[in-house]
Structure 1
Amino acid sequence: MNVFVINLPQSKDRREFQVKQLECLKLEYTFLEAVSIHDISDAQYEAQGFGWQRPLKKVELACFLSHKKAWEMVSQSNTAALILEDDAILVADIQKILKELDASFNNHQPDLINLEVRSRKKIIGKMPVYSSKELKYNLFELFQERTGTGGYILFPTGAKKLLDKTKRVAPATADAFIFSTYELNAYQIEPAALIQEDQMPIYGLVAHEQFESVIGRSEHFKPEYKSIVEKLSFKKRRLMGQLAMAIRYVQVMWKAKKRDIRLDQDKFKVE
């Protein structure tokens, strides 16, 4: 399985951290140069940054385009890949997990497996579809996710579905775009096998953040609108998005449960 690490060349501290982490974990990897806000012209931003439920920040559009580059690499190589943002922290036994996941699906191969936990409940299957007694983790169907693209395994079938969607749907935040693609056969691993660095204090893994945020989290972003008409247009899109999520929940509620994903602190190597 390939490992792609999305990284801006100027983020040298994150690159150095990932080199140290991945070599310690004995994973072969490739750095994928992230799209920078300086790579996005004003014309491109106007064309691609205003088709979602609110205006995207340039850094959010750059993040989306960076993930799209990773999807293209998965599609071109026709090989599954672990896609990481450069602030991702992995569990100590990730190599064994990847090997097992890569060999465990012969007839019903998933499109995407999410490894992450990020302070929000997820809608997952009530019962696991796969369990590893040796590595002590379970896989659940993932029906609804709201935030987090720090790390996920993408299979060629999933890459095709996401790339096909980019041809007919405007860019969004990377997590919103991925997890509103309900045709994906998506799964969640538990205990979580990855956490982004800014979440580590919340889960008791470190006292405070180590890296300065580059992507710019959107949880508290207040958009500005050019006019009342534009604001109403975005509000309509947001309502449609909320309706789609509600319909999704109704469709799966008989076999799903909304809950937090467990994290095992002992599985992480924290220095």
Structure 2
Amino acid sequence: MINLKRRQDRRERMLRALHEQEIDCQLVEAVDGKAMNTSQVEALGIQMLPGYQDPYHGRPLTKGELGCFLSHYNIWKEVSVWGEGAWPRSPGSPHRFGGAQGPRRDCGPHAAA
């Protein structure tokens, strides 16, 4: 589960919901796009497409949307090095991914709190 560090309320609500459904998860701290400045974005090599407008809202990408994308992108990069054996093989298999390194942890029984 990806979650912003500053949104503890959402984290606890989602952990309770996942626990009630007996779903194990890994907790990943989200990239907080609102906390990023222009130089941090540039240091990542990110360049916005000139004149890009969101097709639904007619505006440029927001910092929150950038953080959301980067959060998922970081996970995609990590998963790409795990290899095929790290993925669950059937709908009944446990959703645990081997080989993970970094800021992940089991959500565990504290989710029921």
2:79 is the counterpart of 1:74 = yes
Give the conservation status (yes or no) of the 8 Å contact 1:8–1:33.
yes
Structure with greater contact order relative to length (CA < 8 Å, sep ≥ 6): 2
Paired positions, count: 82
Give the conservation status (yes or no) of the 8 Å contact 2:33–2:63.
yes
Corresponding residue to 1:20 among 2, 11, 16: 16
> What's the CA shift for 1:34?
0.3
2:100 is the counterpart of 1:100 = no
* Matched ranges for 1:1-271 at <5 A: 5-45=1-41, 48-51=46-49, 53-54=52-53, 55-78=60-83, 79-80=86-87, 99-100=90-91
Q: Give the number of the structure whose alpha-carbon radius of gyration is greater.
A: 1
Runs of 4+ in 1 over 6 A off after TM superposition: none
Q: Which secondary structure does the structure 1 equivalent of 2:91 belong to?
A: helix
Q: Provide the identity percentage.
A: 32
Q: Which secondary structure does the structure 1 equivalent of 2:81 belong to?
A: helix
Cα distance in 1 for partners of 2:78, 2:13 equals 23
| Cα pair distance change 1:48/1:56, threshold 3 Å | farther
- Unmatched segments (≥5 aa) in structure 2: 54-59, 94-113
> What's the CA shift for 1:16?
0.8
Cα distance in 1 for partners of 2:21, 2:81 equals 26
- Given the two structures, how large is their TM-score scaled by the length of structure 1? 0.27
Q: Which letter does structure 2 place at the counterpart of 1:50?
A: M
| Cα pair distance change 1:49/1:14, threshold 3 Å | farther
Q: Which stretch has the larger CA shift, 55-64 or 34-43? A: 34-43
